[in-house]
Amino acid sequence: MAHLDGLLARHRLVTVTGAAGIGKSRLARAAAERQGAQVSRARWWTEGPAGGPDALTGVATALGLPATAGFEEVVDELRARPRLLFLDDVDPVRRDCLALVQRLLQTLPELRVLTSGRQPLGLGDEQVLRLGPLSLVPSGDGTPSAAARMFLSRLPARSAHLVGTGAAGRAVLDICARVQGVPLALRLAAEQVGRRPLAEVATLVESAQCRLAGEAAGTWRHRSLHASLGASYTLCERADRIAWARLSVLGGDFDEDTAVHVAAGGQLRALDIPACLARLTLASVLEPVRDPGGVRPGRYRMTTAAREFGFGRLRDAGEAAEAVERHLLWCRDAAESAQRLWQVGLQQQAIALVRAEEANLRAALVRPPQTTAQAETALYAVVALWFWWGVCGHTGQGRSYLQRLLPLFPEVSLLRARALWLAGWIAVRCGEGDAADALREAGEVAVLVGDDTTLGHVADASGVLAAYAGDRELALACLEEAVQLIPEDVFYGPSVAHSWAVLACNQAHTSIAAARRSVRTAVALRRTRDDRWARCMTGYALAFVDHLGGRPARAWRRARRALRDAEALGNPLGTVVVERLLAEIQHIPASAPPLPDRRRIPRKRPTTPTRYAELGGEDPLTRRAARPR
């Protein structure tokens, strides 16, 4: 309100814009009432989608003139005394209103105009105040968020006692988050609490927000979210309505490339998509998450209610199946792009890509496939994201997708062999009991299709499983087979350096020399230096071998570097394992020398004893000089 008052004091034309149900008219009306000048309010869209007079007739009626009054009569009435002309809900007559306001401002230098609508008029001197949803973040002093306060204030008197702390308080926060802080949705959800339990209202706003309806408040558009969004839909151009409906299959924010991939086709050309996105953003159907025009491409977001409404229109048009198919194909391509980035050593970029598109990927993968082809596409995307499930800590989510999709795609193929290995590998990493069965079946299918790489991955996971079970001999046999089968330039799954590192950790219990040879082989591989996860695994193996070999200082430094790599990748299992090794290194015998502080170790010249000699060990320089050339 303070910001709007300042704009009205300094400028002649101010417009309040925002999404459906955001509170534009209410704020603008309150600001107009605070002005000292006489206010004349003209409002459209009161009878229905096509109801209401044109722009000039509406203004004349608001001034108390006959509906047939012309422009000169309106100007004479406005010139008689200073006025603030408040044009409310101008969306149905926006083009008419634009021309009228421009003529009025040119004719009457003292006139000020305040408008409200879902998009600005577009005049040069126009000042725009765009309203966003209410905040979902609670205050630092423990006060509920703005959205929660509004929801609680709108509860019926007989239901106010239901809300407090505990489960009821969590349900309120859940409702506010799911409606994304939109005031109209909060009011309609609060009205539902008087008719059904709070938990049922939370479920309703999760799956069917457009069904939220309540008593009429002001206009017909505020009776339900469906009516409010339908009013915006009727004002959009045909291309914008098609884009709105097709983009509703997405589950999160998206960029222009994603929009072209999902929405283009048929009557909507790919080159028309950027203009559609711009118009939908102006109409407050889309919210810009990141403005276009900078170094990074812009991204857009659609509210849950707008997606529900758009998907309903898509289903009515008979295009839902085709849009879902395009979304799945986009999901497969995005997953494959992330896998390529991971395999060439750009793990940080791969993680950033998946994290940015996580909501859209989830929306595509949780939707039940309608055909075997859709199941195959979804399974391919899940398998391509093996690193996201197994390395980055999303094991539960990956297991749920595989358990649902594998029965839908029983065909013996390379894809099924990889999916079964992934299911077994994830089960091993999270300690589930069905790992052995999945790995056995994966090995059988891999033999049938002749895929040695998957056989190597199965052997690697089986070796880890045997090591967990305490069967060291079987673990060594499986891991030795894995390093023979997995090629150095593997395109899919963990690199062979991972298998060499695990083999070295198991060999360290029986032969330190063999373990050092294995881990040196892993370090010497060409791709290890560029592969951060392989570098993390080999670093851990080096630290583990040094720890068991009686070199605590070197083990400590290497374990710290491995921990930094694991934390940078968001690898929870790797972080826990390395931290456990660091704890073991800390508890070395009391007779051992203290661990050095790397920051305080001065750089030694080749002629002076090194830190290892100071710790009581053999001087590496002396040892190197004693070697025969």
pLDDT per residue over 494-531, tens digit each? 989 999 999 999 898 888 999 999 989 989 888 887 88
DSSP E strands in 410-502: the ranges are none
Q: What angle do CA 256, 259, 261 make, to 5 degrees?
A: 110
pLDDT per residue over 170-186, tens digit each? 888 888 888 888 888 88
Residue 356 pLDDT > 60, yes or no? yes
Token pair, residue 333, equals 């391509």
Please provide the size of the chain in residues: 629
CB 458 within 8 A of CB 424: yes
Listing DSSP states for 152-164 in one string gives HHTS-GGGGGG-S
- Among 155-159, 255-259, 468-472, which is the least confidently predicted range? 155-159
Q: How confident is the model at residue 336 (pLDDT cuts 50, 70, 90)?
A: very high
d(CA 228, CA 230): 5
The pLDDT, as a whole number, for residue 421 is: 93
Q: Which residue has the higher pLDDT, 138 or 601?
A: 138
Identify the CA nearest to 551 among candidates 588, 514, 518, 583. 588
Listing DSSP states for 297-311 in one string gives PPEEEE-HHHHHHHH
Mean pLDDT of 389-394: 90
CB 20 within 8 A of CB 229: yes
DSSP E strands in 295-453: the ranges are 299-302
Identify the CA nearest to 555 among candidates 527, 514, 587, 517. 587
Q: What angle do CA 206, 310, 329 make, to 5 degrees?
A: 90
Q: What is the mean pLDDT of the chain?
A: 83
d(CA 150, CA 98): 34
The pLDDT, as a whole number, for residue 200 is: 79
Mean pLDDT of 598-610: 39
Q: How confident is the model at residue 165 (pLDDT cuts 50, 70, 90)?
A: low
Residue 296 pLDDT > 50, yes or no? yes
* Helices 225-235, 183-193: crossing angle, 10 deg rounding: 150
Residue 359 pLDDT > 50, yes or no? yes
d(CA 491, CA 451): 13
Q: How confident is the model at residue 52 (pLDDT cuts 50, 70, 90)?
A: low
d(CA 281, CA 177): 22
Token pair, residue 42, equals 């003209």
d(CA 501, CA 487): 15
Q: How confident is the model at residue 164 (pLDDT cuts 50, 70, 90)?
A: low
Q: Which residue has the higher pLDDT, 290 or 374?
A: 374
CB 451 within 8 A of CB 411: no
Residue 609 pLDDT > 50, yes or no? no
The pLDDT, as a whole number, for residue 600 is: 40
What letter represents residue 446's amino acid?
A
- Among 133-142, 322-331, 426-435, 552-561, which is the least confidently predicted range? 133-142
Mean pLDDT of 66-75: 87
CB 83 within 8 A of CB 39: yes
- Among 31-40, 160-169, 335-344, which is the least confidently predicted range? 160-169
Query: Dihedrals φ, ψ of 530, to 5°?
Result: -90, -15
pLDDT per residue over 119-160, tens digit each? 888 888 889 999 888 888 887 677 788 888 888 888 876 555
Token pair, residue 289, equals 């998450």
Q: Which residue has the higher pLDDT, 297 or 246?
A: 246
Token pair, residue 78, equals 């406005």
Q: How confident is the model at residue 161 (pLDDT cuts 50, 70, 90)?
A: low
**Other residues' Cβ atoms within 10 Å of the Cβ of residue 105:** 18
Strands 83-88 and 38-43, sheet pairing: parallel
What region, left, alpha or beta, does residue 431 occupy, with left being phi > 0 and alpha being psi -120 to 50 degrees?
A: left
